[in-house]
Amino acid sequence: MQRTRRLTLLLLAIILTLSLAAAPRAAAAGAGDIVVGYYASWAARQGYTPDKLPAEQFTQINYAFAKIENGRLALEDPEGDRKVLGELTALRKQNPELKIVLSVGGWDESTWFSDVASSSAQRETFARSCLDLIRAHDLDGVDLDWEYPVSGGTAGVIHRPQDRENFTLLLRAIRKTLDRQSRKDGRPYVLSIAGAAGNGYLNSIEPRAVAETVDHIFLMAYDFHGPWDSQANFNAPLRPVSGGPSRYQGSVEGGVNAWVSRGVPAEKLVLGMPLYGYIYQGVSRAQDGLYSGFDSARSVAWDKVKGEYLERPGYRQLRHREAEVPYLSGNGCFLSYDDEASIAAKAELARDCGLGGVGFWELSQDREGDLIQSACSAWRGGGFSDVPAGAWYAGAVEAVCEAGLMQGTGAGTFAPGAAVTRGQIAAILYRLAGSPGIYGSSFSDVRTGAYYAKAVAWAARRGVVEGFPDGTFRPDQPVSRQQLAAVLWRYAKLERADSGKRAGLEDYRDAGEVGAYAGEALSWALAEGVLQGTKEGNLLPQGQAARGQTAVLLERFQKLLESA
């Protein structure tokens, strides 16, 4: 008995020792549902402060960038960065699972990576400095964006042939230091990297060894083409394009496949997506400027694409069938960018490939969250916490969100029972129309800069919506079922999708409640199957159009337009 008891105690002691030795790893909390956003240090100086971030969308926010100074991790602007980091960590009060991580390097601050990775002593010194800075600012980890090991990067970056192996050793040193601290305080610490999508980068690191060491790899699946090229081309094509220049046919899909083919588990990859594009000036008219030589080129944030270029006269909005990305052509320019639909397609690719998550560079370029919300909705498969899988509207919610027509309401919810407003329905149809350029609004209560301002101006100009006699539009007023039917009917006529079919209203018990303006619209909607009556035989024309119900109507309406 005593021997058995001693063996039992010994076994328990071994188990306890092993459990204490195993440090908690940050990846466990978010594996399979990682959403990373890079928040740049200059964003706060430009007025986009941390309190304006849609923090509920993310599992990790990377503050970019820290630098390497005298072999140690250091803040670029100690006073300013300290303030911003405090504001970022405060976001965890409402989002307790959110990780705030310090990113080091980037294009401008990668000069000294090769040095700190070059010897055991320097690696240990740098690793300890990472932990010291993390603890000093109550952060959750560190992210390394070395651009680039072995070769490449901006002028002045130090390179060594040994960078390939030393990068792995540096990461292992940081991992060991973070894990040692985790065993002391029980807190998981993140170690991640940002890596390029091409084979050139993969040849300069040890992909499988790196993946085994870090929690995840942010795959920079953008900048496949840009101002450094000789021809105008797409920033982040989803798939390769046939018939283009043979020099380089990189794509998002190809980048993912390249990493996985090197033995990197798909779940270790976070698909990084751009919130910006590139405009090439001085292009030829041939092929709408695609593959043309150019005089100059520069990056353009999504907010500027949306706010200035989409509505500017002289530009044609196009979409490449193979690349699955939009572009603008006109005024001697070619503008490659991503919109809600293309960013959702990238997120769907990440989901279909079994990747660990999605991410964005950088957050101040999408201040209203158009692309972020669209990508997150597609990544989560429309999986809003308040949309049960078996709900009658669940499939429609997923479809319209992936199409970029509707978005969630934040914190992973859709609010299917909430009313749709007049401003929202104008914005939805504006997106469906491809966000065409229309200037100005004559409504006194539609403020410039509101998310629906351009949509209302377009919809009113095209006769899709109408205002009130007092000169207002009342964008926050809920839409009724008959109002929604009227708006969809006007849009159908605009698109020449009204086949002339009509259904009678007289058999519905509440037909007398239908407004004079909405009679034919409801007759059209019933005949085309866009709208249906209730099982009790009512139309409920004055009932509010809920978001879940609107999603169903929109899905049916899209199919009607496609078949017209």
The H or E element containing residue 67 is: strand 60-69
pLDDT at 407: 80
**Domains in the chain and their CATH numbers?**
23-279+341-375 (3.20.20.80), 390-563 (no CATH)
Is residue 271 within 8 A of residue 308, CB to CB? The reply is no
User: pLDDT tens, 457-512?
Assistant: 999 999 999 999 999 999 999 999 999 999 999 999 999 999 999 999 998 999 99
Sign of CA dihedral 259, 260, 264, 269: positive
Stated length of the chain: 564
Task: Give residue 553's pLDDT.
Answer: 94
Return the pLDDT at 486: 93
At 389 the pLDDT is 78
Q: Residues 82, 137: contact at Cβ < 8 Å?
A: yes
Give the mean pLDDT of the chain. 90
Strand order in the sheet with 325-330: 296-301, 276-281, 333-336, 325-330, 316-320
Closest CA to 189 of 238, 148, 147, 135: 135
pLDDT for res 186: 95
> Which residues fall within 8 angstroms of residue 485, CB to CB, at 6 or more apart?
518, 521, 522, 524, 525, 530, 531
From 76, 97, 109, 147, the catalytic residue: 147
336: β partners: 278, 327
Residues 525 and 532: their CA atoms lie apart, in Å, by: 8
Q: Which residue has the tokens 């308040």?
A: 386
Give the pLDDT confidence score for residue 246 in this predicted structure.
Answer: 58
Whether 147 sits among the annotated catalytic residues: the reply is yes
Question: Block means of pLDDT (10 residues each) for the chain, length 564 residues?
Answer: 43 39 43 87 96 94 98 97 98 94 98 98 98 98 98 97 98 98 96 96 98 98 96 95 74 96 96 98 96 97 94 90 94 96 92 95 95 87 74 89 79 82 91 76 80 88 91 92 94 92 92 92 93 89 91 92 86
Q: Characterize 509-534 residue by residue with b for buried, 16 or more Cβ atoms within 10 angstroms of its Cβ, and e for exposed.
A: ebbeebeeebbebbbbbbebebbebe
What does the longest C-alpha to C-alpha distance in the chain come to?
Answer: 94
Counting runs of H as helices and runs of E as strands, what totals does the chain give?
19, 14
Say what the pLDDT of residue 32 is.
Answer: 60
pLDDT of residue 11: 42
Q: In this predicted structure, what is the pLDDT of residue 410?
A: 61
Alpha carbons 23 and 27: distance in angstroms, whole number: 12
